[in-house]
Structure 1
Amino acid sequence: MWKFFKTAVILAGGKSSRMGFDKQFLRINKVRIMEKLIHELSKEFEDIIIVTNKPEEYKKDGVRIISDEIKEFGPLSGIHVGIKQSKSRYVYFIACDMPNVNLNYIRYMKKVLTNSKANACIAKRKGKFEPFNAFYSVDILPKIEKRITLNRRSISGLIDIIEPIFIEESVLKKYDYSFNMFINLNSKEDLEIYNRKNKQEENYV
Structure 2
Amino acid sequence: MKNFGTAVILAGGKSSRMGFDKQFLEVNKTKLVDIITRKLENQFEEIIMVTNKPEYYKDFPHKIVEDEIKEKGPLSGIHTALKKASSKYVYFLACDMPNINLKFIQYMKDKLNEVGGDGCLSRKGNWIEPFNSFYSKDIVPKIEEHLFNDKRSIHSLVRKLNFYYVEEEIALRYSPNWDMFMNLNTTHDLELYLSGKRVN
Task: State the TM bucket, normalised to the shorter chain.
Answer: over 0.9
Distance apart, 1:130 and its partner CA: 0.3
Structure 1 contact 16–23 (Cα < 8 Å) conserved: yes
Counterpart of 1:40 in structure 2: which amino acid? K
Counterpart of 1:55 in structure 2: which amino acid? P
Distance apart, 1:134 and its partner CA: 0.0
Which residue does 1:93 correspond to in 2?
Answer: 92
Structure 1, unaligned runs of 5 or more: 199-205
Separation in 2, partners of 1:118, 1:76: 19
Separation in 2, partners of 1:97, 1:47: 20
Q: 1:92-171 counterparts in 2 under 5 A? A: 92-171=91-170
Which residue does 1:48 correspond to in 2?
Answer: 47
Which residue does 1:83 correspond to in 2?
Answer: 82
Separation in 1, partners of 2:77, 2:20: 20
Comparing 94-103 with 111-120, which one deviates more in the overlay? 111-120
Separation in 1, partners of 2:127, 2:160: 15
Separation in 2, partners of 1:113, 1:53: 31
Separation in 2, partners of 1:126, 1:27: 32
Which residue does 1:23 correspond to in 2?
Answer: 22
Separation in 2, partners of 1:59, 1:92: 23
Structure 1 contact 120–162 (Cα < 8 Å) conserved: no
Comparing 136-145 with 27-36, which one deviates more in the overlay? 27-36
Deviations 1:1-43 (A, max 9, x none): x111111000000111111110011011211110011000001
Comparing 57-66 with 43-52, which one deviates more in the overlay? 57-66
SS in 2 for 1:114: helix
Structure 2, unaligned runs of 5 or more: none
Counterpart of 1:195 in structure 2: which amino acid? L
**What is the TM-score normalised by the length of structure 1?**
0.93
Counterpart of 1:197 in structure 2: which amino acid? G
Which residue does 2:61 correspond to in 1?
Answer: 62
Distance apart, 1:62 and its partner CA: 3.0
SS in 1 for 2:120: strand
Structure 1 contact 120–164 (Cα < 8 Å) conserved: yes
Q: Percent identity?
A: 50
Counterpart of 2:189 in structure 1: which amino acid? D
Runs of 4+ in 1 over 6 A off after TM superposition: none
Distance apart, 1:60 and its partner CA: 4.9
Counterpart of 1:11 in structure 2: which amino acid? L
**What is the TM-score normalised by the length of structure 2?**
0.96
